[in-house]
Structure 1
Amino acid sequence: MARIVIELPAAFKDLADAIRELVATTQKLADRGPSGRAIAYAKAELDLAAATAATERAAHGIILRSLDVDAPHVVIEGARHSRVGRYEQTYYTMAGPVEVERSIYRRDGDRNGPVVDAVSLRAGVVADGWLPQTARAMAHHVQRGTPREAEAAAAEIGRLSYSRSSFDRVAHAVGELYIQRDDAIEATLIEAYEAPVDARSISVGLDRVALPMAEPRPRPSGRPKKGAPKNPITVAWRMAWVGTVTLHDREGNALHTLRYGRMPDDGAASLLQGMADDVRQVLARRPRLKVTLLSDGAHDVVDQLAAEVGHRLETPPIQLVDFWHLIEKLAPAATILGDGDRRLARWKLSLLNASHAAGGILAELRASGRRSIAVGESKPVHEAITYLESHRSRMNYAAARAAGLPIGSGNTEATCKTLVSIRMRRAGSRWKVDTGRHVLQLRALALSDRWDAGIELTLRPLRKAVRVAA
């Protein structure tokens, strides 16, 4: 059999051994082929993946060792550091851990200060040895599901085979790095954002969704009972904020949505100010885009959208309450008035095509004389009248449709579900402010199709040059 000879430097012995093992594994598996028997190929895939991972780790070891700087003194970001010794460090790759000996340094004059090493600084290592691609992949898993699920998924595919506690720790480390620079990162992201070519309008939406928060519970007076928790907590449901900036085509159909979230303690003001800045950046490049503010009928939401977004734009936007929330309010009232389905269909058609339809429906409800009729604990006609009286100026759906603008806040409603509910409202879940903020912001990046650029900007400052001091 003809052979291929590959020459490697002597320093690559570990890699040569790993390649030899990979070739042997491949040959062993290939030898079974001519027999004609069925093969448990899943086992073959696992064996080949293990041999390939060993080769990958050996290659990482060579590269990481090459990043070491071993000198009495080095300069990092203009500051002189002195060597304090050489020690082993575990670096965590996509294929598993790798041990590397490297020199560590401490800044001159900082007697008890932290130590650093050239390998970690030059590679941009996250936390205690996690290589950047490994860290971002683990963070991506955790923004999608729980660390336990991430661990199970990694075990199934044979990559990132680390514990759930590692997934949890690394994801929050990446989230913390993002939070530290989120304003600058989001400013850079929106500057680079290119609105879809077919975009003709922008809608800005705001909504709230309940989130289970872990809060300290006062200790009972007296001596604690045996087995009582040291730090008792209670789970309280608080309202997190969700925002969207959606680009629409000439028919009002959504093309792309940027998603935003804030924890209950953060409030909506900073969220809306950031969204307004993003809209202004888009309008600076596409000034002919029309802007619509969309939400349900909650007064605080309507008012905050107008104050924090509408008043910050040079051209006043159109503000609407969601068409389908209005229909939900009208449906029970139509039933009370009689011939409910037909009446509701007539109202719906009128709202979509006549500018003053809301006023006509309001007059019809008032004239019905059924405002006081109760169904259970509600008064459908009274509630519909109140809703129309409060928001009639924000119900000109016919004019919005004629201008090709959206009239529904479905993108915001869907974001409440995808950004918060699916990930953060699972049975038994509860969140602290900081850890919840990490997951929420990382998930918003991923769902806005900004993950690659956002995480690159997050991890880039970790990379630092190290040069030998003169």
Structure 2
Amino acid sequence: MTLSIPLTLVMATYGAPSESDTPAHLGRSFDDLCTASEGQLRALVNAFRSEPVTPTRTLQFEQDVQAALRELGRHVVHYTYNHVEPAAVADQPTHAQFECERYTRVHTKTPQNVWTVFGQIVVRRVGYRPSQAGEPMIFPLAHRFGLVHGASPALAARACQLLAEAGTNQQRVLDRLRTDHGVGWGVKKLRQVSQAVSDEMAEYRHDAQVEQLLTWLAAAGESTGRHKPVVCVGRDGITLRLRAKRGSLYEVASTGTISVYDRRARRLGTVYLAYTPESGQPTMSRALTAVIRDVLTRWDGPVPRWCYVTDAGDNETGYYDDALQGMTHPRTRQVVEWVRVVDYYHASERVWTLANALFGGDREAAGWAKKMLKWMLQPGGVNRVLHSAAAFRVARTLPRVQRTEYDRAYAYLRNRMGHMDYARYRRVGVPLGSGVTEAACKTVFTQRLKLSGMRWTKDGAQTVLNLRVILLSGIWEVVYQRVLAARPQPTVGGYGASEPNEIGIAA
């Protein structure tokens, strides 16, 4: 037995929600709806038990029950949403206020297609015309529901979470919505909903991330261990394929991370930032600085150790020189002491470059490089590496290519020795490498925006990035609740006084 028979029964009893729904139809008792649905579920159970049980029938049974429950949910939501406003338009208040504008009630209800997590329904609601020409009509019920382009808050959140997940794309999201929720959207509708929600959530991302970091800092302070709690800041760039008038172009996008480590140097959590390609990356710099400053302002516990761990790229180094070095505490006005760390693994690459230039990439090169990497972790390690490399360089005549590679690698290490005191960093519990930030490039960008064949407009990519960093930072629920609470609501005089008081009482 398949679901077709039970669904046929329920559609015959109540009909599919449509624009032809009448007040009489909507006035059916909620108890009648529940009774009919109970009968159809019993029919599924009895049909399953009436024949030998097999794995195939078990699979079909669970799928049928799931679909039946979703259909029941759709009818429950349809019934409930259509009984929020009074059944008679005359019982609705005559006037409404919204964003300093006065509106007057029209004389009939009009239908609206509404998409929910249970599927599509039709809601008949009362509209209000503006007193001044040129303004659109408003529907207070739609504002009360928090609809976004016809999508309920629950469905909008679900669609945006799916869109923000790793390994997905627009078509997969649409397929999931159709399979899991019976929602037959197209690409245009998905983009409308996701852009609207993304823009709203981006406004509350900052405060939620600051609160998350403060929570982790409090937990780090209560932990046991020999180190001070550490706040580690990092940023990096990654190429992103953008859509151009003719083909594609590749530009460097940016990602930022702020992590909190406890007294045992264990990472408690990370908040993420990500922005599409921009010359000089000023948006990333402003956003990262704003989070840091607000954490400094609002944290009143023992001062943690602040560190900045990145490679030595131009944007990464420039940000430290311009924004972090010399930063004053917002409350104490004292200069914040930063521990600047050049990523150990980037430094290690230069050691291998030196080895290959000096020894030609053979076994001797590998032996020397491995020895130098151990020295790097000891006090004065970089200086010892440079002395060893210089000694071998004097005894060798290098071809021009190897000589150029040697000089660049040597200069890289020599010029950044002050930020490569890895022995001290280990001693005080500061991360040696920018692995968290490097991983962020993969988790934020590569796993979502760099799948096969993907090209992006900057606006489209930023829509997904806004959602993705909120999801990865673990603040989705907090941010979304604030978005819903902040949506403006019309003021309708005396609204709700004549609404049904109990479920099951026909309007």
**TM-score, scaled to structure 2:** 0.79
Corresponding residue number in structure 1 for 2:282: 269
Corresponding residue number in structure 2 for 1:57: 74
| Matching of residues 298-309 of structure 1 within 5 Å | 298-309=313-324
Asked whether the equivalents of residues 205 and 470 of structure 2 are also in contact (C-alpha less than 8 Å), the reply is: no
Structure 2's unaligned 5+ residue stretches are: 1-24, 87-91, 222-228, 330-335, 496-507
The one-character-per-residue Cα deviations of 1:277-310 (angstroms, maximum 9, x if unpaired) are: 3233334234421011111121332121332234
The one-character-per-residue Cα deviations of 1:387-439 (angstroms, maximum 9, x if unpaired) are: 11221111111111111111100000000011011111122211112111111
Q: Which moved more, 1:111-120 or 1:361-370?
A: 361-370
Corresponding residue number in structure 1 for 2:239: 210
Asked whether the equivalents of residues 126 and 462 of structure 1 are also in contact (C-alpha less than 8 Å), the reply is: no
Residue identity matched to 1:51: A
Residues in 2 aligned to 1:423 and 1:185: alpha-carbon distance in whole angstroms: 20
Q: Is 1:254–2:267 an aligned residue pair?
A: yes
Change in CA separation of 1:195 and 1:394 when aligned onto 2, cut-off 3 Å: same
Match of 1:113 among 135, 140, 146: 135
Structure 1's unaligned 5+ residue stretches are: 1-9, 217-232
Corresponding residue number in structure 2 for 1:220: none
Residues in 2 aligned to 1:41 and 1:133: alpha-carbon distance in whole angstroms: 30
Change in CA separation of 1:436 and 1:374 when aligned onto 2, cut-off 3 Å: farther
Displacement, 1:454? 1.6
The one-character-per-residue Cα deviations of 1:323-342 (angstroms, maximum 9, x if unpaired) are: 01111111132244442233
Displacement, 1:378? 8.2
Residues in 2 aligned to 1:154 and 1:345: alpha-carbon distance in whole angstroms: 52
Displacement, 1:126? 1.1
Q: Is 1:102–2:118 an aligned residue pair?
A: no
Match of 2:155 among 127, 134, 159: 134
| Matching of residues 17-32 of structure 1 within 5 Å | 17-31=32-46, 32=48
Change in CA separation of 1:398 and 1:51 when aligned onto 2, cut-off 3 Å: same
Residues in 1 aligned to 2:404 and 2:235: alpha-carbon distance in whole angstroms: 27
Residues in 2 aligned to 1:93 and 1:260: alpha-carbon distance in whole angstroms: 31
Residues in 2 aligned to 1:291 and 1:372: alpha-carbon distance in whole angstroms: 44
Match of 1:190 among 205, 210, 215: 210
Q: Is 1:279–2:292 an aligned residue pair?
A: yes
Corresponding residue number in structure 2 for 1:170: 193
Residues in 2 aligned to 1:41 and 1:351: alpha-carbon distance in whole angstroms: 62
Corresponding residue number in structure 2 for 1:219: none
Residues in 1 aligned to 2:190 and 2:327: alpha-carbon distance in whole angstroms: 41
Residue identity matched to 1:37: V
The one-character-per-residue Cα deviations of 1:171-210 (angstroms, maximum 9, x if unpaired) are: 222113334xx2x541354146411513610111010000
Change in CA separation of 1:34 and 1:61 when aligned onto 2, cut-off 3 Å: closer
Residues in 2 aligned to 1:115 and 1:237: alpha-carbon distance in whole angstroms: 44
Change in CA separation of 1:411 and 1:270 when aligned onto 2, cut-off 3 Å: same
Displacement, 1:458? 2.7
Residues in 2 aligned to 1:290 and 1:12: alpha-carbon distance in whole angstroms: 65
Asked whether the equivalents of residues 111 and 122 of structure 2 are also in contact (C-alpha less than 8 Å), the reply is: yes
Asked whether the equivalents of residues 375 and 384 of structure 2 are also in contact (C-alpha less than 8 Å), the reply is: no
Residue identity matched to 2:34: I
Change in CA separation of 1:424 and 1:89 when aligned onto 2, cut-off 3 Å: same
**TM-score, scaled to structure 1:** 0.85
Residues in 2 aligned to 1:137 and 1:169: alpha-carbon distance in whole angstroms: 14
Residues in 2 aligned to 1:395 and 1:178: alpha-carbon distance in whole angstroms: 39
Displacement, 1:375? 9.0
Displacement, 1:379? 4.1
Residues in 1 aligned to 2:468 and 2:397: alpha-carbon distance in whole angstroms: 46
Displacement, 1:313? 4.5
Q: Is 1:41–2:64 an aligned residue pair?
A: no
Displacement, 1:267? 4.7
Displacement, 1:72? 2.6
Residues in 2 aligned to 1:447 and 1:438: alpha-carbon distance in whole angstroms: 15
How many residues are treated as equivalent by the alignment? 439
Corresponding residue number in structure 2 for 1:222: none
* 1:311 match: secondary structure: coil
Q: Which moved more, 1:167-176 or 1:266-275?
A: 266-275
* Percent of aligned pairs sharing the same letter: 20
Corresponding residue number in structure 2 for 1:365: 389
Match of 1:13 among 11, 28, 36: 28
* 1:198 match: secondary structure: helix
Change in CA separation of 1:53 and 1:463 when aligned onto 2, cut-off 3 Å: farther
* 2:270 match: secondary structure: strand
Corresponding residue number in structure 2 for 1:294: 309
Aligned-residue Cα RMSD (Å) equals 2.7
The one-character-per-residue Cα deviations of 1:33-74 (angstroms, maximum 9, x if unpaired) are: 254432512222232222222221222223323443733322
Change in CA separation of 1:160 and 1:54 when aligned onto 2, cut-off 3 Å: closer
Change in CA separation of 1:463 and 1:15 when aligned onto 2, cut-off 3 Å: farther
Corresponding residue number in structure 1 for 2:146: 124
Displacement, 1:99? 0.6
Residues in 2 aligned to 1:447 and 1:372: alpha-carbon distance in whole angstroms: 52
* 2:124 match: secondary structure: strand
Asked whether the equivalents of residues 206 and 241 of structure 1 are also in contact (C-alpha less than 8 Å), the reply is: yes
